[in-house]
Amino acid sequence: MLVEWGMEHGCGIDELHRYLSESRRRTIHLIPTSFPERHLLGLWLKLDDFDVVAFEKSASPAHKEHIITHELAHIAFEHRGSVPLDQTSSGPLLSNVDPAGVRGLLMRSRYSDDEEQEAETMASLILARATKRWVEPAWAVPEEAADVVARIEQGLGKAEPQ
């Protein structure tokens, strides 16, 4: 895949992020947040018009790179995930996100899953070839994702219901 993408000799998160957004014709928003569960560090939400990759904002810079690259690898492989989104299984994390508006949700559930191993391997290959380190930009909520971000934050207990 890296050869196909023209990245066999190296790339960074910015290049991969841009490539996947352009090739899929879908914006991917990278959103730092605090997850209430210690074992959850990242997730990918596939919505009607765009994607959201949320990552643990308190992680070290190198760990953030790995989390984001792992989630982007899931997107590249078009993984389906093993955690269905419905009101009973999502718990408080996504209780305010309407399942009808979400086309897919991918959260890490078990590292033994084939999809998880594939994403971990791809993330490691990409980061081993990274030509520059990722610098987290100053972040503002993108207008098209504002409602989703508010619902995620509300589900995480970070915001009051609107």
Q: Transcribe 129-147 into DSSP letters.
A: TBSS---PPP----GGGHH
Band (pLDDT 50/70/90 cuts) for residue 89 is very low
Q: 33 with 156: CB under 8 angstroms?
A: yes
The tokens describing 126, both together, are: 């990409």
Mean pLDDT taken over the chain: 76
pLDDT digits (tens, 9 = 90+) for 6-34: 777 777 788 889 999 999 999 999 999 88
Band (pLDDT 50/70/90 cuts) for residue 3 is confident
Q: 98 with 86: CB under 8 angstroms?
A: no
Instruction: State the DSSP code for 80.
Output: -
**What pLDDT sits at residue 12?**
77
Residue 52 confidence (pLDDT) above 80: yes
d(CA 28, CA 17): 7
Chain-centre distance for alpha carbon 122: 14
Residue 98 confidence (pLDDT) above 60: no
Q: In 3D, which of 50, 67, 82 has the Cα closest to residue 126? A: 67
Residue 122 confidence (pLDDT) above 50: yes
Helices and strands in the chain: count of H runs, count of E runs:
4, 4
Q: Which residue has the higher pLDDT, 53 or 136?
A: 53
**What pLDDT sits at residue 66?**
92
